[in-house]
Amino acid sequence: MNNYDKNNILNLLDSVSPDNADLLETLHIIQEHFGYLSKEALEIVSELLSLSVAHVYGTATYYADFRFVPPPETIIGWCSGPACLLKNGVGIRDAMLAVFGTELGEQLDNPSVEVCMAQCNGTCEQAPQIWVNNKVVGKLTAAKAIELARSIKEDI
Amino acid sequence: MQQDYYTLRAQADIEYSIWSQPEKPRIDFAYDTSSIASGTEEIMNKLNEKLINENHQIETGVVAGYGLQYLNPLVQITFTDGTTVLYGPVTSDNIDDLINEALGNNRNPLDITIGMLHGNRNDIPTIDKHSFLQLEEERRLTRNLGFIDPDLINHYIARDGYLAVNSIFEKKLTDEEIRKEISDSGLAGRGGAFFPTGVKWGFLSSASTEDKYLVCNADEGDPGSWVNRILMEGDPHSIIEGMIIGALGTFANKGYIYIRSEYPLAISRMQKAIDDAYSLGILGQNILRSNFSFDLRIIKGAGAYVCGEETGLIASIQDSRGMPRIKPPFPANSGVFFNPTNVNNVESFASIPMIMRNGSNWYKEYGVESISGTKLFSISGDVKKAGIMELPWGVKITDVLETCGGISNNKPFKALQAGGPLAGYLPSSIAGTLELEPNQFKEHGALVGSGGLVFISDSACSIQLNLLFSQFVEDESCGRCTTCHGGNQRMTEIFRRISRGNGRIEDKANLDIIGNTLLYSNCVHGQASPTIMKNTVSHFADDYEDCVINKKCSGDVCSCPGLTKLIIVDQFDKKLDEAMNICPTGMIKKINGKYTINMKDCIRCGACIELAPEAIKKVSDGTTQEMPEFIPRIFSENHKSLTPHSVLIEPSSITTNVLVRGEKSLSGMENMTI
Ligand SMILES: Cc1cc2nc3c(=O)[nH]c(=O)nc-3n(C[C@H](O)[C@H](O)[C@H](O)COP(=O)(O)O)c2cc1C
Ligand code: SF4
Ligand code: SF4
Ligand code: FES
């Protein structure tokens, strides 16, 4: 959904108000709907919450969750937690990056994919794991990660 | 019109008694983040489909997992006589077994039977006999896991939920009496600093502004700790009740629960719980017909570790970058929107109702002299059985390890990393002598922290682990203090260099300087970030010397890439072809019938060893190895730039009346027009 129409955004945000601890919530709502935070959206948020655009932008860029360009089709979240690291998490990460030829957090157009950093959510019995579009792929190994990355690459 | 507690309770009792002794047998799936990760949803859907197709007289439902995560997915069956039995790990192949079990058609217990939660069947052992639960004395914080549907407020009420709030109203307890009970119980903050909760509440209660805030810190950013998630997903109302009592003990009128975005299920369960509490008159105006009012809402975090620090959390709530600031002023003086505020951890709040219900002496039945009660621990790493335990303080680390089945692959126990990346890293020679008790850890320069226990085997090298933890603290520094963001960058650089095989004699002195400099940071993130490094240098001198001076790395899975290389020990192994094909960098080649591995661009991913374990070995021969500068970029013409900063290059045309947020010193600028 990429229709960054002002009314469209305002409809989503009818419950937020200035000075009411609503900024994070507002940004989450927009990102959930559009997949990222566009310039237009940040400006509307600024107006709606009586904050300067710089403040909104500065706040949004502080947090790892927010994106500022349309997301890729496939987001691979790589767990950076200790249980996963102990079980060759780094090897898994680098193997996938080598297949795609990207760096962590770098988005590729073709295939439309990104491997990004993610945090442990306490499902460490599945370690080492990644989340492919939020779906867990657990008990991974470097070889399985390579196969998975290759299948994504070949699927385009 | 608000209902009184007894009317609510009577309704809840009816609903709960039907649930706990159902007319038809009921299959309950453990539904929490860990269960979902283990594939519960798929099995649940298949089973439901089958029940409908075959028209079985069986109900289904949902509970929270019992904590035995290594046996996920878990399922419970409650039979018509009220007996509840736990099963796991369940697969799609077990669906018929479960249906037959629920219908009473199985002669013998299923081999996936774990234990009986409730009831009296002779053929199934009670759950407390289970090997993973041998160190648990009594489930207090987790008493509702497996015994309620966490989405149903009436289940909580029927198990004495909100009773404590009501008796405070009935007995007309003053705020002081509430705080005294909490102080007498010895409850110390579970966020990791163990500050006495009753005392902290005292600071807030003495403030006399119109708005006072109570904040529940559910940011749980420490990787390897997930105890707060268990409580939010398993017993959300216990946290709400704890906060209401906290409000009564401090005269707070507004509350926030700040939950990290990595926990979507916890967020939706807490939201449902709050909505239900509002609709029954347990939150909002005139709680349970009293003249006390308290409002509560959830703030969803957005992925920043230091938002777990209380001042960072407060900044994040009030629409800003979640950067911690120097204290004082303490939150009790200036917190959310500059109003007096008290921040407590999820587990601290969840401990409150039971203390008020049963009294401080009851709470002190467990624990040690320095700290009372039970504590949730999440156990992971190189152990055979990962999961959750509710332990009294004072349990031996070695006993915990034994109960978890020991170190996986029967490797030696090398180290314990407890309480997240700020809390420390102790060798087995020390950790093996310790009990779970904050002071014992402190003596060795480490902390128990918030409940994560990561056991580490000798397949990890301390230096490489240090690099990984150091990258975490560097990455998560908010950037306010040069000591912290710069210091952690330098620390990471040094470890990266050592790990690439270029350690220098003087690194130790430099790490020392960095460690001391970091102490001059604003918040505990910077101050505590060198803890693991200090522990390593003092307790793992061997690993350190080996990697820095002898250029030998003892790690096997988690090892320094620049100190290890791969060699082919068997040219005739048939699996070498597979290894060659899997290599993502094409570094394994077959030339004239002979396999070679070129270390220059080998990224040490380990895939080849995995496929040809007998033919390819990782060795560390005391020399620095060639390795790629970066991950080789193979298709680099294809990249899209990710810099967010290009988004707002054009000047904005908007004029707004700006409310300046942030530090109080800026308050003179509150209404500027730009
Ligand atoms: C970097 C950093 C991260 C923290 N993260 C958390 C956290 O995730 N959860 C938490 O309860 N406390 C966290 N704390 C501790 C809080 O600042 C605060 O002490 C705690 O929430 C107080 O609650 P308690 O008194 O109930 O323990 C963190 C502290 C620091 C310095
Ligand atoms: S110590 Fe680090 S995290 Fe804390 S305020 Fe300073 S820069 Fe930020
Ligand atoms: S470790 Fe990975 S990159 Fe190196 S040779 Fe083996 S498969 Fe290739
Ligand atoms: S460390 Fe990866 S899920 Fe916990």
* Alpha carbons B519 and B525: distance in angstroms, whole number: 10
Question: Is B41 inside any structural domain?
Answer: yes
Q: Report the share of chain B in percent with pLDDT over 70.
A: 93
* Alpha carbons B275 and B269: distance in angstroms, whole number: 10
Task: With beta carbons under 8 A apart, name residues in chain A contacting B317.
Answer: 21
Gap from CA of A25 to ligand 2 centroid (Å): 24
Residue A24: how many other CB atoms lie within 10 Å: 25
What 3-state DSSP class applies to A105?
coil
Pocket, ligand 3, Cβ cutoff 6 A:
B 566, 582-585, 587-588, 597, 602-608
Q: Which residues of A, range 9-28, sit inside 8 Å of B by Cβ?
A: 18-19, 21-25, 27-28
**What is residue B633's predicted lDDT score, i.e. its pLDDT?**
54
**What is residue B644's predicted lDDT score, i.e. its pLDDT?**
44
DSSP codes of every residue in B396-407: BHHHHHHHTTSB
* Alpha carbons B111 and B98: distance in angstroms, whole number: 11
Question: Is B7 inside any structural domain?
Answer: no
Residues B87, B205, single domain; the answer is no
Q: Which CATH number do you get for residue B527? A: 1.20.1440
List, in order, residues 6 or more apart from B72 with CB less than 8 Å away: A125, B30, B34, B35, B37, B38, B40, B65, B88, B89
Q: Which candidate from B223, B475, B648 shows the least CB-CB separation from A120? A: B223
Q: Is 1.10.3720.10 the CATH classification of the domain at A74-155? A: no
Rounded to two decimals, what is the model's pTM? Answer: 0.94
Note the pLDDT tens digit of each residue in B622-668. Answer: 999 999 887 655 434 444 444 444 444 455 555 555 444 544 444 44
Residues B428, B444, single domain; the answer is yes
Q: Which candidate from A28, A52, A85 shows the least CB-CB separation from B558? A: A85
Give whole-number Cα distances, B256 to B271, B353, B402, B415, in Å.
Answer: 12, 18, 39, 37
List, in order, residues 6 or more apart from A125 with CB less than 8 Å away: B34, B38, B69, B70, B72, B380, B386, B387
Question: Is B50 inside any structural domain?
Answer: yes
Per DSSP (E only), the strands in B346-386 are 374-381
Note the pLDDT tens digit of each residue in B376-388. Answer: 999 999 999 999 9
Q: Which CATH number do you get for residue B55? A: 3.40.30.10
* Alpha carbons B595 and B566: distance in angstroms, whole number: 12
Residues B475, B596, single domain; the answer is no
Residue B221 CB less than 6 A away from ligand 1: yes
Q: Which numbered atom of ligand 1 lies nearest the CA of B310? A: 17
Report the amino acid identity of residue B392: P
Q: Are B272 and B311 in contact (CB under 8 A)?
A: no
Q: Which CATH number do you get for residue B398? A: 3.10.20.600
Residues B582, B614, single domain; the answer is yes
Within a 13 Å sphere around the CA of B376, how many CA atoms are in the beta-carbon half?
31
Question: Is B638 inside any structural domain?
Answer: yes
Structural domain harbouring B639: 633-673
Protein residue whose Cα sits closest to atom 1 of ligand 4: A81
List, in order, residues 6 or more apart from B600 with CB less than 8 Å away: B587, B626, B627, B628
Is there a contact between B642 and A42 if contact means CB atoms under 8 Å apart? no
Residue A127: how many other CB atoms lie within 10 Å: 25
Question: Is B555 inside any structural domain?
Answer: no
Q: Token pair of B133, please?
A: 């639960």
Note the pLDDT tens digit of each residue in B97-152. Answer: 999 999 999 988 999 999 999 998 899 999 999 999 999 999 999 999 999 999 99
Gap from CA of B549 to ligand 3 centroid (Å): 26
Residues B529, B504, single domain; the answer is yes
Question: Scanning the structure block, which residue is given the tokens 């878990």?
Answer: B74
List, in order, residues 6 or more apart from B7 with CB less than 8 Å away: none
Is there a contact between B607 and A129 if contact means CB atoms under 8 Å apart? no
Gap from CA of A116 to ligand 4 centroid (Å): 15
Question: Is B400 inside any structural domain?
Answer: yes
**What total number of domains does chain B contain?**
6
Residues B205, B247, single domain; the answer is yes
**What is residue A155's predicted lDDT score, i.e. its pLDDT?**
77
**What is residue B2's predicted lDDT score, i.e. its pLDDT?**
73
Is pLDDT larger for residue B671 or for residue B568?
Answer: B568
Residues B265, B213, single domain; the answer is yes
**What is residue B560's predicted lDDT score, i.e. its pLDDT?**
96
Residues B423, B499, single domain; the answer is no
Q: Which ligand is nearest to the CA of B351?
A: 1
Q: Residue B235: pLDDT above 70? A: yes
Q: Residue B310: pLDDT above 90? A: yes
* Alpha carbons A28 and B301: distance in angstroms, whole number: 9
**What is residue B646's predicted lDDT score, i.e. its pLDDT?**
46
Residues B447, B474, single domain; the answer is no
**What is residue B370's predicted lDDT score, i.e. its pLDDT?**
95
**What is residue B654's predicted lDDT score, i.e. its pLDDT?**
52
* Alpha carbons A125 and B379: distance in angstroms, whole number: 9
Tell me whether A43 touches chain B (CB under 8 Å): yes
Q: Are B335 and B255 in contact (CB under 8 A)?
A: no
Question: Is B143 inside any structural domain?
Answer: no
**What is residue B635's predicted lDDT score, i.e. its pLDDT?**
39
Angle at B188 between CA B313 and CA B530, to 5 degrees: 60
The helix or strand, by DSSP H or E, that contains position B257, with its residue range, turns out to be strand B254-259
- From the list B77, B63, B229, the residue with the least C-alpha distance to B150 is B63
Residues B381, B423, single domain; the answer is yes
Question: Scanning the structure block, which residue is given the tokens 């006072």?
Answer: B212
* Alpha carbons A119 and B221: distance in angstroms, whole number: 8
Question: Is B627 inside any structural domain?
Answer: no
Give the residue from A90, A117, A146, A154 with the most B CB atoms within 10 Å of its CB, the best one to mutate.
A90
**ipTM, 2 decimals?**
0.97
Gap from CA of B343 to ligand 2 centroid (Å): 19
Mean pLDDT, residues B339-350: 98
Residues B583, B652, single domain; the answer is no
List, in order, residues 6 or more apart from B245 with CB less than 8 Å away: B164, B165, B168, B178, B352, B353, B356
B346-358 helix and B227-234 helix, angle to the nearest 10 degrees: 60
Provide the residue ranges of all domains of chain A, joining segments of one domain with +. 6-62, 74-155
**What is residue B3's predicted lDDT score, i.e. its pLDDT?**
85
Question: Scanning the structure block, which residue is given the tokens 């049963």?
Answer: B358
Q: Are B128 and B146 in contact (CB under 8 A)?
A: no
Residues B524, B656, single domain; the answer is no
Q: Are B216 and B258 in contact (CB under 8 A)?
A: yes
Digits of tens for pLDDT over chain A (156 positions)? 456 678 888 889 999 999 999 999 999 999 999 999 999 999 999 999 999 999 999 999 999 999 999 999 999 999 999 999 999 999 999 999 999 988 899 999 889 999 999 999 999 999 999 999 999 999 999 999 999 999 999 876
B406 exposure class (CB count in 10 Å sphere: 0-12, 13-18, 19+) = middle
